[in-house]
C-alpha cells in the first residue's frame, strides 16, 4: 500500500464523517412532514435530501473499508482494480440504504421486500464479480 492509497482512504473517511455531520444537521433542522399547525411546503424535498445524504454517507463509509478489507484478504498487496471493486461495493450499499429508506417513507417496506432488495444487490455483486473481476 502506497502513501497515495493511505491518503485516499483518509480522505474518504473524512468525507464520510463530513457527510454524516451534514446529514444530521440537515435532518434536525428540516421539517419532515406537514401538520395542520405547521405547514411545510418542502417536506417531500427534505425527505428526498435526507435519503440521498444517507445513501451517500453509507457509500462513502463503506468504500475505504471495502478497499482495506480486500487489501488484507489479498495478503497485503493492492492489486489493480481494487478501488473499482471497493467503489462498486460502496455504491451498492448506498443504493440499498437509499432504496430501503425510500420504500419506508413511501409506506411500501415489508420484510419480504427488504429481503428482495438485499438479495438483488447481492446478485448484482455476484454477476459483477463474475463479469468484471474474472482473470
CB 89 within 8 Å of CB 62: yes
**Confidence (pLDDT) at 134:** 66
Mean pLDDT across the chain, nearest whole number? 89
**C-alpha cell of 41?**
411546503
- Whether the pLDDT of residue 36 is over 90: the answer is no
Q: What is the mean pLDDT of residues 2-7?
A: 86
SS3 call for 39: coil
CA gap 59, 66 in Å, rounded = 10
**C-alpha cell of 26?**
440537515
- Whether the pLDDT of residue 108 is over 80: the answer is yes
- Whether the pLDDT of residue 76 is over 80: the answer is no
- Whether the pLDDT of residue 97 is over 80: the answer is yes
CB 98 within 8 Å of CB 59: no
pLDDT per residue as tens digits for the range 38-72: 778 888 898 899 999 999 999 999 999 998 888 88
CA gap 31, 129 in Å, rounded = 41
**Confidence (pLDDT) at 135:** 59
CB 33 within 8 Å of CB 74: no
**Confidence (pLDDT) at 122:** 95
Amino acid at each position: 500500500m502506497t502513501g497515495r492509497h493511505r491518503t485516499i482512504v483518509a480522505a474518504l473517511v473524512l468525507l464520510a464523517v463530513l457527510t454524516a455531520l451534514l446529514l444530521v444537521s440537515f435532518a434536525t433542522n428540516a421539517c419532515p412532514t406537514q401538520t395542520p399547525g405547521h405547514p411545510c411546503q418542502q417536506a417531500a424535498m427534505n425527505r428526498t435530501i435526507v435519503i440521498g445524504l444517507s445513501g451517500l454517507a453509507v457509500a462513502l463509509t463503506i468504500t475505504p473499508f471495502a478497499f482495506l478489507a480486500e487489501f488484507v484478504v489479498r495478503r497485503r498487496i493492492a492489486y489493480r482494480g481494487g478501488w473499482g471493486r471497493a467503489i462498486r461495493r460502496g455504491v451498492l450499499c448506498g443504493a440499498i440504504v437509499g432504496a430501503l429508506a425510500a420504500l419506508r417513507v413511501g409506506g411500501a417496506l415489508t420484510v419480504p421486500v427488504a429481503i428482495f432488495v438485499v438479495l438483488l444487490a447481492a446478485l448484482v455483486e455476484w454477476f459483477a464479480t463474475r463479469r468484471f473481476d474474472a482473470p
